[in-house]
Amino acid sequence: KMNVFSQSELEKVAKDELGEDKTRIKSDLQTLKDWISKTPHLKGIRQDDAHLLKFLRGCKFSLERSKEKLDLYNACRSNVPQWFGNWDVESPLFQKFLGWGNYLPLPGYDKHGRQVILMRTGQIVPSQTNIEEVLMTSLAFYELACEDNTQGQVKGIVVLNDLGQATAQHAIMFNPVMAKKGITIWQEAYPARPKAMHFLNFPPVVQGVFTMMQGFLNEKMKKRNQVHQKGDYTKLLEDVGAEVLPEEYGGSNGSVEEIQKTWVSKVMAHKDWYKEQTKYKSDESKRPGKPKSHADIFGIEGSFRKLEID
């Protein structure tokens, strides 16, 4: 696999970039586990070393920050059951997205050693889905891409979003309330280290949605967004290198079709893992003080749509 760091290279990068200290990892993990065991609403969350280490790395080993993220991540899981509660990859819903291949973690790593995820928004058929399904499956796929991926956790990720086939129908799908919710979860609750977002084959029709999404991002992320005009991959190749990119994007990492096949096999091989993930979440009824509600996390507009239906 290309650009895979050796154990010693990874340790050096983790130390330099994240302050990871091999001798302290064990005690940091124990501190988190002790805290979880004393926190009534978090007793049922996932707490294996590999999972907790993702949070420590994503928070540069700040224990306080890691606790906050773990708490919010698990509160999101219990507050948005329609996104986290039904990860059945054999279901028609998941099969539909796997068939479209709109979310593809690329094999290997880029020239800086970062993990690259290719999103192809234009492959989604808007008349057959909605923004909630898109976000739900993307979060599920993202979790598997991060699982047991030490290098991705340490070096961070680069997201490529190919908007080449996107139409006005795609733009209409992006309801601001849902988009904000998705970005809040990804930005605030996940221990991700997004390093860059490249928007490829940018059509004018998505400019409005892009501007709206930019408004929900924190300053650091806004600066990491790069827009590329149709068919121009020069700057992308400069940033990530050709080895990690599929042939269709000027790279040498096999065809999109091959990458999609491999990814579908990986997802299906993890069907039991996916089912298991759905049980991990906070029990808000046991949170000391007041439960963290949907409105606490996402702001009040998150509950408007529900009111109209009732």
Convert the pLDDT of each residue in 110-154 to its tens digit: 999 999 999 999 999 999 999 999 999 999 999 999 999 999 999
CB 41 within 8 A of CB 283: yes
For the chain, the straight-line distance linking the first and the last C-alpha, in angstroms and rounded, comes to 52
Token output for 112? 């800086």
CA dist 115 → 110, 144, 151 (Å): 6, 13, 8
Looking at residue 256, what is its pLDDT? 97
CB 263 within 8 A of CB 254: no
Give the full edge-to-edge strand order of the sheet including 103-105.
Answer: 103-105, 115-120, 157-162, 194-200, 225-227
- State what percent of residues in the chain have pLDDT above 90: 78
Looking at residue 302, what is its pLDDT? 43
DSSP 240: H
174-194 burial, b for 16+ CB within 10 Å, e for fewer?
A: beeebbbbbbbbbeebbbbbb
Q: Is the pLDDT of residue 222 over 90?
A: no
pLDDT band at 28 (very low <50, low <70, confident <90, very high): very high
Looking at residue 135, what is its pLDDT? 93
DSSP strand pairing (157-162 vs 194-200): parallel
Give the C-alpha separation, 17 to 20, whole Å.
8
pLDDT tens across 62-71, in order? Answer: 999 999 999 9
pLDDT band at 303 (very low <50, low <70, confident <90, very high): very low
Is pLDDT larger for residue 74 or for residue 179? Answer: 74
pLDDT tens across 244-289, in order? Answer: 999 999 999 999 999 999 999 999 999 999 999 999 999 999 999 8
User: Average pLDDT, stretch 285-303?
Assistant: 80
User: Average pLDDT, stretch 199-209?
Assistant: 91
User: Average pLDDT, stretch 37-51?
Assistant: 96
Give the C-alpha separation, 237 to 105, whole Å.
17
Looking at residue 300, what is its pLDDT? 60
* Nearest one of 186, 93, 92 to 134, comparing CA atoms: 93
pTM of the model: 0.92
What does the mean pLDDT of the chain come to? 92
Q: Worst-scoring range by mean pLDDT, 98-107, 226-235, 293-302?
A: 293-302
User: Average pLDDT, stretch 27-45?
Assistant: 96
∠ at Cα 88 (134, 70), nearest 5°?
70
